[in-house]
Structure formats: structure tokens, C-alpha cells
């Protein structure tokens, strides 16, 4: 009897002290893209809005002609599949160990970059960054790559 009570008490004590299970991270398709960029992520400019649109989020940083507009869209496909949209265009880069490709262009009114970043097996995200500010496409490309690094850091592992 004493051994039985001891075993029951030990079992009850173990159950009470066990660490609670951590909730599983969300599936890639369930991640809220609006949670991936924060206010102040773009050159100290405050985020003035974020609008969710399915698996995408449209951000604006700043509010005048120098405002930067950013769209982040999550894709559940391979990087090679996503990269096909660029054809032979684009500049290849690496963030940590993750490949990305970006294509930037400028007109008299606007500078814009589009990129695809590999975030893991059958996980990638597309990022479009645009501004009316008079910056060169290479400068906006570096900004795009820096924002992509922040998104990669914030994606659940």
C-alpha cells in the first residue's frame, strides 16, 4: 500500500511540474504577413499603415513624396518555381544561407524593386518596394535586401 501511494504521489508531482507544451508555430500559409515588418524598419520612417490582403500585406512607411511602399506576399512553392517569373532578369544575392533574386528599375516618377527570397523548403516570399524618392535602383535594391533579411529573421523557424 505504501509503495502504491508513493508511486501515485510521484506521478502526480511529475504531472504538476512538467513544462506546459508550447503551441506549434503557425504553418507557413497561416503566417500574418503584416507581422513581418515593424514601424521604423525603413530608414527610421514610421509605418503609416499595413493592409492585409490574403497571403500578402501592403505597407507604407512615411507619408509624403518620400514614402516607401512595400508589399510582402508569402508563397508555398519552391524557390525555383517562384524565380521563373524573373526569367533571365534580376540580380542574385544571398541573405545568410538563403538565396534571393531581385530586379530593380527606375523611371522619372518612381523607383521600384521586386524580389523573391527562399525561406525554406517550399517556402518563399515575394517583396515589392517602391518609392518616388530620387534614389538609384541599386540603393533601393540594397534597401530591399535589408528588409528581406528582417522578414527572414521574423519568420517562424
Domains in the chain, number? 1
Average pLDDT, the chain: 85
pLDDT at 128: 96
Residue 25 counted as domain residue: no
pLDDT of residue 54: 86
Identify the pLDDT of residue 56. Answer: 93
Q: What is the structure's pLDDT at 18?
A: 56
Low-confidence ranges of the chain (pLDDT < 50): 5, 7-11, 13
Domain-located, residue 3: no
Q: Tell me the three-class secondary structure of the chain, residue by residue.
A: CHHHHHHHHHHHHHHHHCCCCCCCCCCHHHCCHHHCCCCCCECCECEEEEEEECCEEEEEECCCCCCEEEEEEEECCCHHHHHHHHCCCCEEEEECCEEEEEEEEECCCCEEEEEEEEEECCEEEEEEEEECCCCCHHHHHHHHHHHHHHHHHHCCC
Evaluate whether residue 6 is within a structural domain: no
* pLDDT in the model for residue 4: 54
Identify whether 136 is part of a domain: yes
Range of the domain at 142: 30-154
pLDDT at 106: 94
Amino acid at each position: 500500500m505504501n509503495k502504491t501511494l508513493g508511486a501515485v504521489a510521484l506521478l502526480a508531482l511529475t504531472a504538476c511540474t512538467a513544462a506546459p507544451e508550447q503551441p506549434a508555430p503557425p504553418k507557413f500559409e497561416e503566417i500574418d504577413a503584416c507581422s513581418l515588418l515593424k514601424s521604423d524598419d525603413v530608414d527610421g520612417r514610421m509605418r503609416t499603415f499595413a493592409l492585409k490582403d490574403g497571403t500578402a500585406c501592403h505597407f507604407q512607411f512615411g507619408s509624403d513624396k518620400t514614402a516607401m511602399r512595400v508589399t510582402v506576399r508569402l508563397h508555398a512553392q519552391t524557390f525555383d518555381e517562384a524565380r521563373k517569373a524573373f526569367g533571365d532578369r534580376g540580380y542574385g544575392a544571398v541573405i545568410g544561407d538563403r538565396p534571393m533574386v531581385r530586379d530593380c528599375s527606375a523611371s522619372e516618377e518612381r523607383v521600384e524593386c521586386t524580389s523573391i527570397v527562399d525561406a525554406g523548403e517550399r517556402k518563399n516570399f515575394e517583396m515589392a518596394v517602391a518609392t518616388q524618392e530620387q534614389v538609384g535602383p541599386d540603393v533601393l535594391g540594397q534597401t530591399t535586401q535589408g528588409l528581406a533579411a528582417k522578414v527572414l529573421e521574423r519568420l517562424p523557424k
